[in-house]
Amino acid sequence: MKKILTLVIAAMSAVGCVYEFTPDIRPGDTKGLVVEGDILIGDVSTFTLSCIESLSGEESAPVRGWVWIEDDSGKEYHPDSSDPSNTFDIDMRSASPDRQYRLRIRLASPLTGSTFYSSEWREVQKAPVIDDLSYTWDDDIYADPYTHLWLSLSSTEGSGCFRWDYEEIWEFHAEFMAEYYYDTATQRVRSYEGRIPPLYYCWSYDNSHQAGLAIAKSTGGERISGYKFLDIDRRELRMQTLYFIKLQARNISEECYEYLHSIEVNSTSTGSLTQPDPSQIIGNIFSDDDPLEVVYGYIEASRVSEKSMYISDLFIPPAEPGGNLPPPVTLSGMLTPLSPAEAYMYDLRPKDSPDIWVNKKCVECTALGGTKIKPAFWPTPSE
């Protein structure tokens, strides 16, 4: 089944554990609407609609409809597009933190008998302070080849419950830098003439939503200090050239924490009859037509704190250049014959020696999952 939420429940005095929760949908059960996202005051709020398929119980299917945010004065905030969709961005940068908010949903095609859904009204949680965002590493790469990322959070108001997520961007490059290329227009081999090949540098993007949401509660109710939230293997491409992370943190209510904690308890249970059934873990989103319908998700309204940092010069390269990819060979010596259009010339040899070629995946960073879309704020001149 699809992971709906992955949670990290942490205390100042304990190491957090990751727990996965998937609603227990059995054949014959009705479909369950899944709503993911939060109302972020002063930021852009993103929401996703999906459902658990009742018969297979294996995958989450997108659900099309409309969502909007409403405040207690009757003002509404809508996505830019009025077309039905399953993912929505709503601009809340001008919204007042002094009002209460709720999410409204209308499905294009009802999953059950319901079309309209509403979350409970929520007061806006004040933003916490990100006291520290830092990283450490061990010079002994054999003992510890990881970069460790740490954070500290505090709040003078709120429940002492925190939640954070992050965005990652990293610059990397292909394994080899080609010196020549095959011009398909002229069918000639041409030199880059000292220029960096256009597909040598790339950027990749990721975020914590793909790994799950993180939530923590401090024992003192006000502060989490020195919490390790991410480990990155220094042999990964993320650490090769330049790595950037932007962390967003927010307070959440005690009710939201208890909802997520109930999921954590259920996910770690061993089938005890004293543990709650997953379908009985009630969030704060309800059908307008049937209050007993199970809807998965919890909507919170919060202000967000942000902090970012760069990491460089921590990459552990392979023992030999090209150690992660096939070595350069003569074109005729490739295990799978390639045409010149499918390979790059790595080294142009004298006439009495065969030229050295490499497969495109060795010299094109896009073949390693990267993109040429460079962030506008990126500090390096790489192209």
> What single string gives the DSSP state of each residue in 286-338?
EESS-TTS-EE----EEE-EEEEEEEES-----SSTTTTSPPPEEGGG-SS--
Q: What is the dihedral of CA 360, 362, 367, 369, to 10 degrees?
A: -170
**60 within a domain of the structure (yes/no):** yes
**357 within a domain of the structure (yes/no):** no
Residue type, 261: H
Hey, is 145 helix, strand or coil? coil
pTM of the model: 0.77
Spatial CB neighbours of 87, under 8 Å, sequence gap ≥ 6: 46, 47, 48, 49
**348 within a domain of the structure (yes/no):** no
Whole-number Å distance between alpha carbons of 266 and 19: 9
Predicted pLDDT of residue 4: 33
**95 within a domain of the structure (yes/no):** yes
Domain count, the chain: 1
Predicted pLDDT of residue 155: 87
**87 within a domain of the structure (yes/no):** yes
Predicted pLDDT of residue 112: 84
Domain residues for the domain of 47 are: 5-125+249-305
**103 within a domain of the structure (yes/no):** yes
Whole-number Å distance between alpha carbons of 264 and 16: 11
**258 within a domain of the structure (yes/no):** yes
Predicted pLDDT of residue 345: 53
**323 within a domain of the structure (yes/no):** no
Spans in the chain with pLDDT lower than 70: 1-31, 53-60, 209-221, 263-281, 319-357
